[in-house]
Amino acid sequence: MHDIRAENLKGIVRSEIEPYSEMDESEIKRLIAEIVYRETSDVHLSLKEKEALVKSIFDSIRKLDILQELIEDEEVSEIMVNGYERIFIEKGGSIREWDKSFATREKLDDVIQQIVSSCNRVVNESEPIVDARLTGGERVNIVLSPPAINGPIMTIRRFPKEVFTMKKLIENGSISSEAAGFLKDAVTAGYNIFVSGGTSSGKTTLLNVLCDFIPPKERVITIEDSAELNIKTIENLVRLETRNSNSSGCEAITIRDLIKTALRMRPDRIIVGEVRGAEVVDMLQAFNTGHEGSLSTGHANSARDMITRLEAMYLQSSEIPLEAIRKQIASGIDILVHLERGRDGKRRVTEIDELTSDGNRSIALNTLFELEEGPEGIRIVKKGELINTSKLNKVKKPERK
C-alpha cells in the first residue's frame, strides 16, 4: 500500500480508537483490523498484506513502531538508532545497517517519549540524556540534542529470552566446568566477587548467573542504574534503582545514595550492578563492613586495568592516600573475574584472579584461572578451557548463617 495512504489510515485508526484506549491489546487489534478492512475495501490487497498493515498500525500506536519487529527478533542483540533515518542492528555477532527507518523525526520522538514515560523517567532538551528500560527488560540509552548532533540517538540492548545458567555458559564455551565450580563455591562461601570486562562482554549475564548460587534464605539488596538483574532464587530480595533529577523538582537518587541506604536495611549481601565513579568508595566500604559475598561489575580491558580504574575512580572522589585505597580494594574484593568478547562474537571468561596485597604498597593478582597461551602469546580457546594456574590463598571465610 502506498506510504501516504498508509499514514492517512493510521491517522483514521488513531482518531477512532482514542475513546477505547483503555481496552486490552486483543480488543485494540480487533478494532484496528475492522477499520483497516473497511478503509481498504476498494484497494486490491491480499490477506497477508492487510494483516501486515494491521500489525504495523498496532505497533505504531501501542508498541515501538518499526522497532517492534527488531524487539521480537530474538537474534537481534543490539539496536542503534542514529537519528530517525538510520538504524543499525547487531545480529549474530555482526553489525549492519537495517533497511528500514522512521518515517519522520516526530515518529522517533513519540517512541522515545513512550519509552521513558513507561518507566517514570524524563528526557528533553534541558535533560537530554537518560537511561531507561523496556517492559521486557531491555536496556535503553537515549541522547537528544544539543549533545546529539545528528538527531535523537537511542541504543537498545536486547537480552536473550532464554534464562542463562552456569550449565548453559559451559555449553557455550564461555567458561570451563572447573572454573564454574570454583565460582559456585566462592559465591556460596561468601567471597566478594568483582566482574570486569569491556562493553557487551557479558558482565551482567555472568552476574545474574552467579546470583543463582547465593543461599536462598539470605537477604539480598540489588542496586542498579536501570534494573536488569533477574534474580529468581532469593526470597528476601530488595531491588533499588537510581533516578535522574527532573524539571519538576525531583532530585537525583544516585548509586551512592542507594548504597548508603542499603547499609541501613540489614542486608546479608549487596549487589551493585556497575560502578563507574564515586560510588566505588561506598561499594568498597560495604564490601569491607561485614557484607561477605557481595558482588559488582565494572568496565575495563583487562583485570589489571580494572584495578587501575578502581584506584582512579576512588582518587577522584577522595583525598586519602593511594596506599590506603589499595588496601581497601585488596581487602574488600576477594576475586576478580574478567570477560572478553572475541572477534567471533563469543563472550568468554578469560581470567580469574585473587586480589592480595604484595607487601610493597600495591595490589597483587594471584591468577587462579586463565586461557592457555600458545606460540607467541596467542591465547588458545578450546570450548572455554581455562587453565587452573594457582590455588586460592584466602581459604577461610566467616561461616554463613
Integer Cα distance of 101 and 178 in angstroms: 47
Same domain, 170 and 136: no
Q: Tell how far CA 269 is from the center of its chain.
A: 20
pTM to 2 decimals? 0.75
Same domain, 87 and 58: no
What is the average pLDDT across 94-107? 90
Average pLDDT along the chain: 85
pLDDT at 245: 67
pLDDT digits (tens, 9 = 90+) for 46-90: 777 777 777 777 776 667 888 988 988 888 989 999 999 999 999
Please name the helix (run of DSSP H) or strand (run of DSSP E) that holds residue 239, with its range, or none: strand 236-241
394 inside domain: no
pLDDT at 246: 63
pLDDT at 94: 86
Domain count along the chain: 3
Domain that includes residue 226, residue range:
166-388
CATH of residue 232: 3.40.50.300
pLDDT at 300: 96
Return the DSSP state at 350.
Answer: E
Angle of helix 203-211 relative to helix 177-189, nearest 10 degrees, comes to 60
Confidence of residue 1 (pLDDT cuts 50, 70, 90): very low
398 inside domain: no
311 inside domain: yes
Same domain, 200 and 308: yes
What does DSSP say about strands 153-157 and 76-82: parallel, antiparallel, or unpaired? antiparallel
Same domain, 189 and 328: yes
pLDDT at 171: 92
Integer Cα distance of 122 and 116 in angstroms: 6
pLDDT digits (tens, 9 = 90+) for 121-130: 888 888 899 8
Domain boundary among 137, 157, 177: 157
Cα–Cα distances in angstroms (integers) from residue 260 to residues 257, 267, 271, 315, in the given order: 5, 12, 13, 19
pLDDT digits (tens, 9 = 90+) for 338-354: 999 887 778 899 999 99
Same domain, 244 and 139: no
| pLDDT at residue 372 is higher than 80 | no
**DSSP bridge pairs for 236:** 219
Same domain, 292 and 251: yes
Same domain, 49 and 19: yes
Cα–Cα distances in angstroms (integers) from residue 100 to residues 58, 66, 190, in the given order: 17, 8, 49
Confidence of residue 25 (pLDDT cuts 50, 70, 90): low
364 inside domain: yes
Same domain, 248 and 380: yes
pLDDT digits (tens, 9 = 90+) for 263-286: 999 999 999 999 999 999 999 999
51 inside domain: yes
Same domain, 170 and 134: no
Integer Cα distance of 299 and 347 in angstroms: 14
Domain boundary among 157, 188, 213: 157
Which stretch of 54-58, 91-95, 144-148, 296-300 has the lowest confidence by average pLDDT?
Answer: 54-58
pLDDT at 266: 94
Same domain, 263 and 145: no
Same domain, 139 and 10: no
Domain boundary among 157, 191, 212: 157
Confidence of residue 4 (pLDDT cuts 50, 70, 90): very low
54 inside domain: yes
For residues 66-87, b (16+ Cβ closer than 10 Å) or e, as one string?
bbbbbbeeeebbbbbbbbbeeb
Strand order in the sheet with 193-197: 236-241, 219-224, 269-272, 295-299, 193-197, 335-341, 347-357, 363-371, 386-388
pLDDT digits (tens, 9 = 90+) for 156-208: 988 766 678 999 999 988 999 999 999 999 999 999 999 999 988 999 999 99
Integer Cα distance of 140 and 149 in angstroms: 19
pLDDT at 160: 66
Integer Cα distance of 24 and 296 in angstroms: 39
CATH of residue 118: 3.30.450.370
Integer Cα distance of 18 and 63 in angstroms: 15
400 inside domain: no
Peptide linkage before 146 cis (omega within 30 of 0) = yes
